[in-house]
Amino acid sequence: MDVDLRKLRYFVAVAEELHFGRAAARLHIAQPVLSRQIRALEGELRAQLFRRDRRSTELTDAGRQLLDDARPLLASADGLRRRVATAARGSAAFTVGFMPGITVTEAVRELAGRHPGLAVELVRTTWDDQVDVLHDGRADVSVVRLPIDRRGLTVRPLFREPRVAVLRADHRLAGKDAVLVGDLTDEHLLNDPDAVPEWRDIAVEFREGAAPVRRGFGSVEEKLEHVAAGRGIAVIPLSTSEYYTRADVVHVPVEDLPPNEVCLAWIAARRSRLVYEFAEIFETLVPADREDA
């Protein structure tokens, strides 16, 4: 059975919205058309994907499984289109994704110097899309911070670096040479708590009742604004805190947190000579004072 990518895109829209009307508006199609396409997909897969009543739409177990599998499949299809379109234009381009605080300038210059006709581009990533840019073809390689979903990727370790607590400048712990996770138990953490499980497991606000609702941050700058406003603290890699310096926040090493691991990642199925060459270049340029991953 061939899977229709268009139907998969329709399914993902409904699965993310959990509302056929909103999904239809997002897709710019009529709701009856969307409903027919979803029923056709369910018929092809011989599985019910949604439970619907007058008040709600929910994914079934089969629907949740399809959503997990459909997103990377659609991203790979998008990436294929981008790469074919680039090849058809006859343009030679190579794009590097990088996370905040990580400098790729020297490696990019070296690669460009070796290949004068190659346009080496850069795309800044976040925790949310550092892997997506590989699957959807926006980047050929991405310098990532673990943890990530490694499925379909080759991941090459580069180095580790300490993590620090970022605090408002007048915070009670500001000026300390270092702190322990236990010193932060009374604090409100602006990170996703799952990213710092050592804090989550002992935090006062989790012991006292339901975990507080946390909103996502689109950038490091936004997170630092909240720290400076006294709305909480953040735990970030040392290089990120050093890159985004400002007078109203300080960083303090957290001695008993494991280091953040930085790696280079790319689509495992790709056999691009440039990918391997860039990986070798980057590895040779890792500063000697960085801890080997």
Query: How does pLDDT run across 227-250, given as a tens digit for each residue?
Result: 999 999 999 999 999 988 899 999
The domain limits of the chain are 5-72, 92-159+260-292, 163-253
Q: Place domain 163-253 in its CATH homologous superfamily.
A: Periplasmic binding protein-like II (3.40.190.10)
The Cα–Cα gap between 35 and 24 comes to 9
Per this entry, what is the length of the chain? 293
The Cα–Cα gap between 160 and 154 comes to 18
Q: How confident is the model at residue 125 (pLDDT cuts 50, 70, 90)?
A: very high
* pLDDT tens digit sequence for 84-93: 766 665 557 8
Q: How confident is the model at residue 136 (pLDDT cuts 50, 70, 90)?
A: confident
The Cα–Cα gap between 103 and 100 comes to 8
Q: What are phi and psi of 158, to 5 degrees?
A: -115, -60
Q: How confident is the model at residue 1 (pLDDT cuts 50, 70, 90)?
A: low
Q: How far is CA 209 from CA 135, 201, 205, 213, 244, in A?
A: 39, 13, 7, 12, 34
- How many other C-beta atoms can be found within 10 angstroms of the C-beta atom of residue 23? 23
Kindly tell me the burial class for residue 289, based on how many C-beta atoms sit within 10 Å of its own C-beta (0-12, 13-18, 19 or more).
exposed
What value does the mean pLDDT take over residues 129-145? 91
pLDDT at 216: 64
Give this prediction's pTM.
0.68
Q: Place domain 92-159+260-292 in its CATH homologous superfamily.
A: Periplasmic binding protein-like II (3.40.190.10)
Does 5-72 match 92-159+260-292 in CATH topology?
no
What value does the mean pLDDT take over residues 115-119? 89
Indicate whether 290 pLDDT > 70. Answer: no
- Top-level CATH class of 5-72? mainly alpha
The Cα–Cα gap between 150 and 267 comes to 10
**Judging by DSSP bridges, how do beta strands 249-253 and 163-168 pair with one another?**
antiparallel
Indicate whether 211 pLDDT > 60. Answer: no
